């Protein structure tokens, strides 16, 4: 699905004309560039490689510098491939702006790195219930039994235990686009999205936009009063 690369700025709220407050995440979407066009004949699948955020040459590896030079694009910090059905509609070096991809009322899938929370116990990491909090108990926030006698006689792979929590790739599907501010390169999405402020996000047209439930969500939004434009930055 066609998409763009952006950066999370933070959360705020916007108001509809009827006074309804809508929580939104503000995402900065700079000018994206088509770095490479891949077709089924040459690469085995149809896709475009998109880049964003200008980079200094000294901070880019030599193989990547040659890659950018070959396709006539200035060095960029972030690269991402998006599958498309019509790669012939794109050219290397072409600019992709926010207004070219999304508009209010669309639904998008957002992919990003969740916040890293370090080493945590099972109650925080997996939402375990824990043991009774009453007086006399030795254990309160422990994991409990993790195996069973001679059969199986070991801990099963994938057992939920304490460990590193967060800092994982997360995909949120069918997030509603409340508004776009193309002149500032800002996108307002309803609700929260993965990651910390200034984190890189990949936004693409939703893979489940065809579902009836999603269509109803879009129809309800279209029937609402228009958003009052404000300074979302």
How many domains does the chain divide into?
2
- The pLDDT tens digits of the residues spanning 75-96 come to 999 999 999 999 999 999 999 9
- Who wins on pLDDT, 222 or 75? 75
Is the residue at 233 inside a domain?
no
Is the residue at 230 inside a domain?
no
- Who wins on pLDDT, 16 or 66? 66
State the burial class of residue 152 (Cβ atoms within 10 Å of its Cβ: 0-12, 13-18, 19+): exposed
Boundary (domain end) residue, out of 151, 166, 181? 166
CATH number of the domain to which 113 belongs: 2.40.30.10
Same domain (yes/no): 176, 159: no
> What's the whole-model pTM score?
0.86
Same domain (yes/no): 114, 194: yes
Same domain (yes/no): 10, 78: yes
- Pairwise CA distance, residues 32 & 17, whole Å: 33
Is the residue at 231 inside a domain?
no
Q: Which of 192, 178, 188, 173 is nearest to 224 (CA)?
A: 178
Same domain (yes/no): 110, 145: no
Is the residue at 160 inside a domain?
yes
- The pLDDT tens digits of the residues spanning 157-196 come to 999 999 999 999 999 999 999 999 999 999 999 999 999 9
Q: Is 80 helix (H, G, I), strand (E, B) or coil?
A: strand
Is the residue at 18 inside a domain?
yes
Same domain (yes/no): 124, 112: no
Same domain (yes/no): 38, 92: yes
Same domain (yes/no): 41, 135: no
Same domain (yes/no): 124, 197: no
- Who wins on pLDDT, 54 or 227? 54
Is the residue at 192 inside a domain?
yes
Same domain (yes/no): 97, 128: no
Same domain (yes/no): 69, 139: no
Structure confidence at residue 218 as a pLDDT band (50, 70, 90): confident
Is the residue at 87 inside a domain?
yes
Same domain (yes/no): 134, 100: no
Is the residue at 232 inside a domain?
no
Peptide bond into 152 cis (omega under 30): yes
Q: Which domain holds residue 149?
A: 119-166
Whether pLDDT at 217 is above 90: no
Boundary (domain end) residue, out of 166, 189, 205? 166
Same domain (yes/no): 112, 198: yes
* CA distances in angstroms from 7 to 2, 32, 69, 197, 225, listed in the order given: 17, 12, 25, 8, 28
């Amino acid at each position: 699905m066609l998409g763009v690369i952006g950066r999370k700025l933070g959360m705020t709220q916007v108001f509809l004309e009827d006074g309804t407050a809508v929580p939104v995440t503000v995402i900065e979407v700079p000018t994206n560039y088509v770095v490479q066009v891949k077709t089924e004949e040459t690469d085995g699948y149809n896709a475009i490689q998109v880049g964003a955020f200008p980079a200094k040459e000294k901070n880019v590896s030599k193989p990547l510098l040659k890659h950018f030079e070959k396709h006539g694009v200035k060095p960029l910090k972030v690269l991402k491939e998006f599958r498309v059905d019509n790669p012939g509609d794109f050219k290397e070096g072409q600019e992709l702006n926010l207004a070219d991809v999304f508009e209010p009322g669309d639904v998008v899938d957002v992919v990003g790195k969740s916040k890293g929370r370090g080493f945590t116990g099972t109650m925080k990491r997996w939402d375990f219930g824990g043991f009774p909090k009453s007086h006399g108990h030795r254990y309160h926030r422990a994991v409990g039994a993790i195996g069973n006698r001679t059969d199986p006689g070991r801990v099963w792979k994938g057992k939920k235990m304490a460990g590193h929590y967060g800092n994982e790739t997360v995909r949120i599907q069918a997030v509603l686009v409340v508004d776009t501010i193309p002149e500032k390169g800002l996108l307002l999405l309803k609700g929260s999205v993965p990651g910390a402020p200034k984190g890189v996000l990949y936004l693409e047209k939703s893979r489940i936009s065809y579902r009836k439930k999603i269509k109803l969500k879009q129809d309800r939004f279209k029937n609402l009063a228009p958003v009052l434009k404000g300074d979302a930055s």
